[in-house]
């Protein structure tokens, strides 16, 4: 078996309503429901995600909602009503890869920015490319870029737990992940704080992607 680079490996204990709806909007697989447990796995090369999906669904009763396969990276989302079932699927994947959870890349936040009082014109641009909530002029925008990409989904879920923000978009495949949130200035500041705390608590091997905000 060719060596697989474990980029993202993160457990989501309870999918929040907006992230759940977002996943259902972009997914081509089996759709999750709110409060399901989930896991995001991202590897390189991308083609390896096919075997990982096979291992996860054959060993447990988890269901895959998303499988992105690119040349460089592959991303898988699996979910189940039982946290134990999702965790067991993750253990099966790690055993197959002959890796430990600690072999994943530690996430690095590359950009974390708050922009207040977004104008009508910029709101129009945001709304043309988003798959989540509409962005309304006058709201505060939070933008985060993270490496590896898969951790963006985890960050979105933690933000939604912490603050009544609106999820505008979350991109969790590719070279970098991106998160766009909308809300009042206070709501966005609370969400950003929660994101940094949650992401900062994920252990893994050294990430040499670059030094972003801490």
Rounded to whole angstroms, the Cα distance separating 95 from 89 reads 10
Reported as a single tens digit per residue, the pLDDT across 123-178 is 999 999 999 999 999 999 999 999 999 999 999 999 999 999 999 999 999 999 99
pLDDT at 48: 96
Pull the structure tokens for residue 14. Answer: 């309870």
Reported as a single tens digit per residue, the pLDDT across 9-24 is 999 999 999 999 999 9
Mean pLDDT of 111-129: 97
Residue 172: Cβ within 10 Å count: 28
Three-state SS string over 146-161 comes to: EECCCHHHHHHHHHHH
Residues of CATH 3.30.70.1710 domain(s) within the chain? 5-103, 108-200
Reported as a single tens digit per residue, the pLDDT across 174-201 is 999 999 999 999 999 999 999 999 999 9
Q: Radius of gyration of the chain from Cα atoms?
A: 17
pTM for this model (two decimals): 0.94
Reported as a single tens digit per residue, the pLDDT across 32-50 is 999 999 999 999 999 999 9
Rounded to whole angstroms, the Cα distance separating 171 from 188 reads 18
Q: Would you tell me the crossing angle of helices 83-97 and 49-59 to the nearest 10 degrees?
A: 130
Angular region, 142: left φ>0, alpha ψ -120 to 50, beta rest: beta
Q: Check if the beta carbon of residue 136 is closer than 8 Å to that of residue 182.
A: yes
Residue 27: Cβ within 10 Å count: 15
Q: Check if the beta carbon of residue 190 is closer than 8 Å to that of residue 88.
A: no
pLDDT at 1: 55
pLDDT, the chain, mean: 95
pLDDT at 208: 87
Mean pLDDT of 71-78: 96
Q: Which of 164, 185, 166, 168 is nearest to 114 (CA)?
A: 185
Is the pLDDT confidence value at 210 over 60?
A: no
C-alpha distance across the termini of the chain, in Å: 37
pLDDT at 2: 67
pLDDT at 214: 40
Answer CATH for 108-200 from 3.40.30.10, 3.30.70.1710, 1.10.3210.10, 3.40.50.20: 3.30.70.1710
Superfamily name and number for 5-103: BMC (bacterial microcompartment) domain (3.30.70.1710)
């Amino acid at each position: 078996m060719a060596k697989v680079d474990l980029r993202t490996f993160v457990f989501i204990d309870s999918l929040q309503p907006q992230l759940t709806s977002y996943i259902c909007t972009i997914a081509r697989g089996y759709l999750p429901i709110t409060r399901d447990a989930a896991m995001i796995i991202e590897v390189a090369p991308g083609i390896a995600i096919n075997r990982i999906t096979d291992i996860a669904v054959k060993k447990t009763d988890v269901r895959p909602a998303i499988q992105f396969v690119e040349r460089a990276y592959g991303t898988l989302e699996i979910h189940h009503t039982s946290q134990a079932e999702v965790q067991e699927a993750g253990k099966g994947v790690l055993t197959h890869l002959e890796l430990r959870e600690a072999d994943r890349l530690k996430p690095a936040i590359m950009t974390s920015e708050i922009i207040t009082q977004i104008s009508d014109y910029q709101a129009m641009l945001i709304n043309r490319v988003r798959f989540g909530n509409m962005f309304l002029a006058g709201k505060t925008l939070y933008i985060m870029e993270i490496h590896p990409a898969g951790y963006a989904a985890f960050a979105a879920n933690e933000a939604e737990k912490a603050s009544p923000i609106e999820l505008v978009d979350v991109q969790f495949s590719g070279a970098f992940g991106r998160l766009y949130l909308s809300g009042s200035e206070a709501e966005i500041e609370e969400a950003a704080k929660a994101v940094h705390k949650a992401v900062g608590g994920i252990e893994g091997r050294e990430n040499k992607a670059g030094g972003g905000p801490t």
